[in-house]
Chains A and B, each alone.
Chain A
Amino acid sequence: MKLITAIIKPFKLDDVKTALRGAGVEGMTVSEVRGFGRQGGHTETYRGTEYQIDFVPKVRLEIVVDDGAVDSVTETLAEAARTGKIGDGKIWVTTVESLVRIRTGESGSEAI
């Protein structure tokens, strides 16, 4: 099992959600976060204005999937979240050691 974590632009959330549903993803955790990457904390277009955002608002998605689904989910996610401009975000994948569904006690892949 893998944990896919993605940081995306907030307005892309609906698109990504729809695309992932289509790809068979049954659940995800979404949080409102802030950060900066290569764009350095403010958008290119409006550089030079007095206004500067130190940390840009982003959305973080967390999805646990079976090993076999990692590539397709990651691809779908990237496709749906891409605008081609700076600040589109990142996706990273980490290994999940164990997983339990609290209500039923199911564990491992059954609990996804």
Chain B
Amino acid sequence: MRPVDAATIKRVRAQLIGDPDLAGRGLARRLSQQADSWFESLAADLPAGWALLATGGYARGTLTPGSDIDVVLLHPHKAADSTVREVAERLWYPMWDAGVKLGQAAHSPKSLLQLASDDLDTATSILSVRCLAGDAELAAEVQRAALEQWRKRPFVWLQRLLVSGQQRWTRFGDVASLLEPDLKDGRGGLRDHDMIRWALRVDRAEVTAALEDPFDDLAGPAELLLAARCELHRATGRAGNVLLLQDQDRVAEAMGFADADALMLNLAGAAHAIEWATERFWRRVERLIRSGGRAASRTHVMATLAPGVVVIDDEAHVAADAEVDEPSFVFRYAAAAAHAGYPLGGRALRLLASRGVPPGEPWTERTLRAFVSLLGAGQPLVHTVEALERYGLFSRYLPEWRAVRSLPQRNAFHTYTVDRHLLQTVANATEHVRAVSRPDLLLLGALMHDLGKGYPGDHTEVGMELVDTVAARMGLPDDDTRTVRSLVEHHLLLAETATRRDLSDPRTAALAAEAVGDKETLDLLAALTEADSRATGPAAWSSWKQALIEELVLVTRAVLHGGQVAPPAPDAARFAHLARLVEADGAMHIEHVDQGDVDLLRIASRDRTGLFAQIAGVLALHGLDVLSASAATGADGVAVDEFRVAKIDGALPNWQRIEHDLRAASAGEIDIDSRLDSRLRSPRRRRPLAAASPRLEVLLSNDASATTTVVEVRTADAPAVLYRLSHALTGLDLDVRSAVVATLGHEVVDAFYVTTRKSPTGRVPEGDFDEIRAALMAALAA
């Protein structure tokens, strides 16, 4: 019988690819079967001792219209070069002439195995082979030897697989969150599925155990991606694997989806499943590689990140005694994990998903605090939220999230799906938390700025309405809600104005100033604009645009001349009874009010330099986090301080001891420094490192008040920050007249209104500002 010719191959292939009844995987199977029959025909008269093998994806019986057909011609070791060439050419030429792309090679078994002993691509391609023609026993022998080679050095191969995977992930990005994903090489794509299969072939129990769920669970997601890749090749007539916006409609139609959005949502779901398995599997495998194959204990607690949050097997888990039913716990757990850079454990997530609050409940203050802390985690936020949402935990608290989850956007500027864009904006915004006075509102605004895209209508207008709903649920104060709504409303204002309006025309700045309202919002908006643009795509941000926006912010700020802000005055009524007691006996008077999640501590005393620092120090000694504080000294010389504190460890504060220590410190009987030192050094108190740590900001100004100098410090939260800062001010002989202190997520914004005796006005000469700045930085560096 005459072997098949090029014309036939070309015609039949075109028929198959043009057959509307074949779709996705069905087409891939038929193309593979058809190729089998051609090779059978072409290789019908292979001499004894020769074999033709299918390798790679073709060995598994699938070929997309654009895939290379990977084949190896095995010949006897002693076969003459000319003979090999002649046999090979008879096989390859008809395929080449028909326009089929081959990934062909000719080897003796020895040279093939030799190559596979060092080349990762060859090694993985022959882990499973299929004999197309010739000596089947020879083929089986080669396959057995290839597997043996693979299993002989399992961790060397796993390491090389991992490195190649990491390079691929960096280069191709995520399948689930890119608007134009690479179905094969992207993270969560087909290659990741292959990579796990290859890794499992080392056939080691500890590697198999590293995979959380059965490998077969990934078959469905992988088939969907394969079908999409197949239809993409068919639609474009090319071999590219990037599913471009322009091709999504055709692929969706061929696969029977209602529209491109439905296709992309389904692909994102499939990619999420593969990505989830991949991320967890390879992290465990990496650990196995490092430890030479010793698996970590699944129960041993390696560290404690926060109350109820522990590290087990390099994952964040829930401790046995954790208050899992406390509404804020989910976010406290996620925040602790994200800040320390640990992924969330599957077991913990399943446990939390089965418990906790019903969806859409009003938040407690503690929940909001933990949530803001999570948002401030930087880049790890993206995968942490993705992990929470895999179990519906993020949208349980924020049901609006479901509307933007994996939502594609048809917009040439954007790189990411809406949810990923929002998370990326929040992660970028973390770099600007020190540039604003309200980092918490920056992060919340970043999270919500495009939330409206999940609903019909103008996304900005819808977004503003959503802010009202969401902020009410979060329990955000009205002023803060207004600010966040303003951020959402104007999130495009700076970028549009800077490039489209004349910046030298005073009306431009005036209009921007009118829209924005105040300097604080302008700073927030400037930070949001950069974070948003950088999360959008390469076309949305450049140093060119940045320069224009910076100029707009500058001229707008000049219009928004901030009036003088009076130092915060104490609410006299709340302190009147304490102040009277102080006036009567001159002693320190203390009261505390239990407010559930937090405690309110009021202290009245005769003012003297260093009092504020001493109080802050004692609170730090007792492991109390100062959430906010205000301090003020009245004309009568009575200082009243109000601290809102939360216990770091969750245990109940011992108020008797605290009051005792406050009085003792006031009398100079406690060495706060040395006691704090030993407390902070104890290993039990190890705190995670913040993922992103922008520099410390110290802003000094004599403009805000006629009688005091304002020292504003923005920094990351850490033990005893407030004490260290206020103590440093005392060391410079500055008197803290009043203070407004806030811990917002992982950020601290402390404003101290200080006076000095050295100058007649009480304000610090500007020449001394550098010294103050240096002292504060040194205090935190210590």
Contact = CB atoms under 8 A, between A and B. Distances in A.
Q: Tell me, yes or no, whether A binds B.
A: yes
B11 interface: no
A62 B419 CA distance: 39
Contacts of A44: 504
Interface string A26-69: 00000011100000000111100101010111000000000000
B544 A45 contact: no
B502 A46 contact: no
A34 B544 CA distance: 7
Given A34-B544, A57-B548, A49 B554 contact: yes
A103 interface: no
Given A32-B542, A34-B547, A57-B544, A11 B554 contact: no
B502 to A, nearest CB: 5
Given A46-B554, A46-B558, A14 B500 contact: yes
Nearest to B550: A51
Contacts of B550: 51
B555 A46 contact: yes
Nearest to A45: B504
B502 A9 contact: yes
A22 B242 CA distance: 39
B136 interface: no
A53 B551 contact: yes
A34 B548 CA distance: 11
Interface residues of B, number: 18
B691 interface: no
A10 B548 contact: yes
Interface residues of A, number: 20
Contacts of B554: 46, 49, 51
B501 interface: yes
Contacts of A87: 504
A83 interface: yes
Contacts of B501: 11
A43 B550 CA distance: 13
B547 A57 contact: yes
A11 B558 contact: no
A34 B545 CA distance: 11
Given A10-B548, A34-B547, A57-B548, A83 B502 contact: yes
Contacts of B503: 11, 43
B504 A32 contact: no
Contacts of B111: none
A11 B503 CA distance: 8
A2 B551 CA distance: 35
B528 to A, nearest CB: 20
A37 to B, nearest CB: 14
Interface string B99-124: 00000000000000000000000000
B761 interface: no
A58 to B, nearest CB: 9
B499 interface: yes
Nearest to A34: B544
A50 to B, nearest CB: 9
A92 to B, nearest CB: 21
A32 B502 contact: no
A14 B505 CA distance: 17
Nearest to B506: A45
Contacts of A85: 504
B547 A11 contact: no
A3 to B, nearest CB: 23
A83 B545 CA distance: 21
A43 B500 contact: no
A49 B555 CA distance: 10
A17 to B, nearest CB: 12
Contacts of B505: 83
Contacts of A83: 502, 504-505
A53 B554 CA distance: 11
Interface string B530-546: 00000000000010110
Contacts of B544: 32-34, 57
B412 to A, nearest CB: 16
B777 to A, nearest CB: 21
A43 B505 CA distance: 11
A43 B545 CA distance: 17
A75 B432 CA distance: 45
Contact of A11 (B502, B542, B545, B555): B502
Contact of B500 (A11, A45, A49, A56): A11
Nearest to A32: B544
B683 to A, nearest CB: 46
A56 B548 CA distance: 8
A55 B502 CA distance: 17
B547 A43 contact: no
Interface of B: 499-506, 542, 544-545, 547-548, 550-551, 554-555, 558
Given A11-B501, A49-B558, 6 more contacts: A32-B545, A51-B550, A51-B551, A56-B547, A57-B547, A87-B504
Interface of A: 9-11, 14, 32-34, 43-46, 49, 51, 53, 55-57, 83, 85, 87
17 contacts: A10-B499, A11-B499, A11-B503, A14-B500, A32-B542, A33-B544, A34-B544, A44-B504, A45-B504, A45-B555, A46-B558, A49-B554, A51-B550, A53-B551, A57-B545, A83-B505, A87-B504
9 closest residue pairs by CB, A with B: A32-B544, A57-B547, A57-B544, A57-B548, A11-B500, A51-B554, A43-B504, A11-B501, A11-B502
